[in-house]
C-alpha cells in the first residue's frame, strides 16, 4: 500500500507546447541524439535512452561537438550551449529511470517494426497516463505502432530530418486514431524548436520518403548497372539538379541499413514493384557497409 505522498503523480495530457517540459528520447543513434539536442536547446529536460552504453557515450560526444559548432557559427547562444550540456541525462536501462514527470516520449530506435512495437508497449506501461507518444519512424505505419498501446489517440509521428540540429523540416503524421489536438500540439511544439512542420497522412513513407527513396534506390540501380561511377552519379544530381548532396552520399548519411528498411516498407505496404530495393543496396547492407555510421558505405569514411 502507498500513501498519497508516495503515489506517483499522474500527469494530465499536455495541451500546449509550454506543458511539455520533460521529454524522453528512446534510441540514441544519429537521429535520437539530434532530437535530444534540439529539445535541450529549447530549454526542455531530456532523458536520452539507448540499449547500448557505447552508443550513449558516442551520442554525448556527438551532441557536444554539434552544439559547439553551432555556437561557433553564432546559431546557438551561450545559454543554449549551456542548456545542451545541462539538460540531458543519459540512461541505458529504462526500468531504472524515473519517468513520472515525462509529458512526451519520442522513439528514434532502429527502423524495425518489432523493435518499435516492443518499445511502444513498454513505454505505454511505464509512462504516465497523460504522456504523448511520438515516433521518428521514416516509413512504418503510425496506426500500427499506436495499436500496440492503450493510448492510440495520443500517438503521433514526429519525423525529423538528418542532421536534426540543422534541417528545418518536421513531418507530423497523424495515425487513424490520433486526436487532432495532439497533431496540432506537436506542430506547435515543432515551431518552438525552430522547425517548420508539414502535416502528412499515415501512408508508407509519408511525404518525404515516398518521394526521396525511389530516387535514392534508382541511383543504386544505375550504379549496379555500371551506367556511371558513384562520384559521377552524385555529381550529376548535384550540378545538374542543384541537390546539395548526391543520392549515394545521402544514402550513406541516412544509413544504408535504414535506407533498405524504408524501401522494404514501401515495397511491402504499397505492394508496387517499383519500390523493390536495388540488389546492390542489399549487398552493401549484407556486407555490413551501413554508411558513415559504420565507417564505410558506397564511400569510405
Tell me which residues are annotated as active site.
138, 159, 171, 209
Q: Report the residue from 31, 38, 142, 146 that binds ligand NAD according to the rule CB under 6 A.
A: 31
Q: For the chain, how big is the Rg over CA atoms in Å?
A: 20
State how far the Cα of 271 lies from the Cα of 289, in Å rounded to an integer. 27
CB of residue 205 to ligand NAD, shortest distance in Å: 10
Stretch touching ligand NAD by CB under 6 A, among 4-12, 134-142, 172-180, 272-280 = 134-142
Q: Does 52 bind ligand NAD (CB under 6 A)?
A: yes
Q: Which residues contact 261 (CB under 8 A, 6 or more apart)?
A: 110, 111, 112, 138, 139
Q: Does 27 bind ligand NAD (CB under 6 A)?
A: yes
Q: Report the residue from 24, 26, 46, 155 that binds ligand NAD according to the rule CB under 6 A.
A: 26
Per-residue x/- track, 225-264, ligand NAD (CB under 6 A): -----------------------------xx--x------
Q: Does 154 bind ligand NAD (CB under 6 A)?
A: no
Q: Report the residue from 104, 119, 146, 249 that binds ligand NAD according to the rule CB under 6 A.
A: 119
- Which segments of 1-52 are extended strands (E)? 22-26, 45-49
Residue 74 DSSP class: T
Q: Does 195 bind ligand NAD (CB under 6 A)?
A: no
Q: In what order do the strands lie in the sheet with 132-135?
A: 88-91, 45-49, 22-26, 104-107, 132-135, 155-160, 169-174, 196-201
Q: Does 165 bind ligand NAD (CB under 6 A)?
A: no
Total chain residues near ligand NAD (CB under 6 A)? 28
Stretch touching ligand NAD by CB under 6 A, among 11-19, 30-38, 125-133, 225-233 = 30-38
Longest CA–CA separation in the chain, Å: 72
88 CB-side CA count, 13 A: 32
- Which segments of 29-127 are extended strands (E)? 45-49, 88-91, 104-107
Q: Which residues contact 214 (CB under 8 A, 6 or more apart)?
A: 266, 274, 275
Q: Report the residue from 14, 20, 30, 212 that binds ligand NAD according to the rule CB under 6 A.
A: 30
- Contact status, residue 140 vs residue 113, Cβ threshold 8 Å: yes
Per-residue x/- track, 77-116, ligand NAD (CB under 6 A): -------------------------------xxxx---x-
Q: Does 138 bind ligand NAD (CB under 6 A)?
A: yes
74: left (phi over 0), alpha (psi -120 to 50) or beta: left
From the list 119, 195, 122, the residue with the least C-alpha distance to 158 is 195
Q: Does 28 bind ligand NAD (CB under 6 A)?
A: yes
Residues of the shown chain interacting with ligand NAD in the complex, contacts defined by CB under 6 A:
26-32, 49-52, 55, 108-111, 115, 119, 136-138, 159-160, 162, 254-255, 258, 293
Amino acid at each position: 500500500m502507498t500513501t498519497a505522498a508516495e503515489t506517483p503523480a499522474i500527469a494530465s495530457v499536455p495541451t500546449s507546447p509550454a506543458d511539455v517540459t520533460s521529454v524522453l528520447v528512446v534510441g540514441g543513434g544519429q537521429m535520437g541524439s539530434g532530437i535530444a539536442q534540439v529539445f535541450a536547446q529549447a530549454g526542455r529536460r531530456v532523458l536520452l535512452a539507448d540499449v547500448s552504453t557505447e552508443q550513449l557515450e558516442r551520442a554525448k560526444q556527438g551532441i557536444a561537438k554539434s552544439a559547439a559548432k553551432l555556437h561557433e557559427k553564432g546559431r546557438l547562444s551561450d545559454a543554449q550551449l549551456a542548456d545542451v550540456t545541462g539538460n540531458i541525462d543519459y540512461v541505458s536501462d529504462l526500468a531504472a529511470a524515473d519517468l513520472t514527470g515525462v509529458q512526451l516520449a519520442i522513439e528514434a530506435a532502429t527502423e524495425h517494426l518489432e523493435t518499435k512495437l516492443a518499445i511502444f508497449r513498454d513505454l505505454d506501461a511505464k509512462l504516465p497516463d497523460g504522456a504523448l507518444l511520438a515516433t521518428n519512424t521514416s516509413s512504418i505505419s503510425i496506426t500500427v505502432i499506436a495499436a500496440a498501446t492503450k493510448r492510440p489517440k495520443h500517438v503521433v509521428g514526429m519525423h525529423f530530418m538528418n542532421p536534426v540540429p540543422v534541417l528545418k523540416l518536421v513531418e507530423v503524421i497523424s495515425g487513424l486514431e490520433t486526436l487532432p489536438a495532439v497533431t496540432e500540439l506537436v506542430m506547435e511544439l515543432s515551431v518552438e524548436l525552430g522547425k517548420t512542420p508539414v502535416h502528412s497522412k499515415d501512408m508508407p513513407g509519408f511525404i518525404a520518403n515516398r518521394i526521396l527513396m525511389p530516387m535514392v534506390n534508382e541511383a543504386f540501380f544505375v550504379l549496379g548497372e555500371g551506367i556511371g561511377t558513384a562520384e559521377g552519379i552524385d555529381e550529376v544530381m548535384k550540378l545538374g539538379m542543384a541537390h546539395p548532396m548526391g543520392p549515394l552520399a545521402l544514402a550513406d548519411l541516412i544509413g544504408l541499413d535504414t535506407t533498405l528498411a524504408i524501401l522494404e516498407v514501401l515495397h511491402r505496404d504499397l505492394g508496387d514493384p517499383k519500390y523493390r530495393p536495388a540488389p546492390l543496396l542489399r549487398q552493401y547492407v549484407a556486407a555490413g557497409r551501413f554508411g558513415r555510421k559504420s565507417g564505410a558505405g558506397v564511400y569510405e569514411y
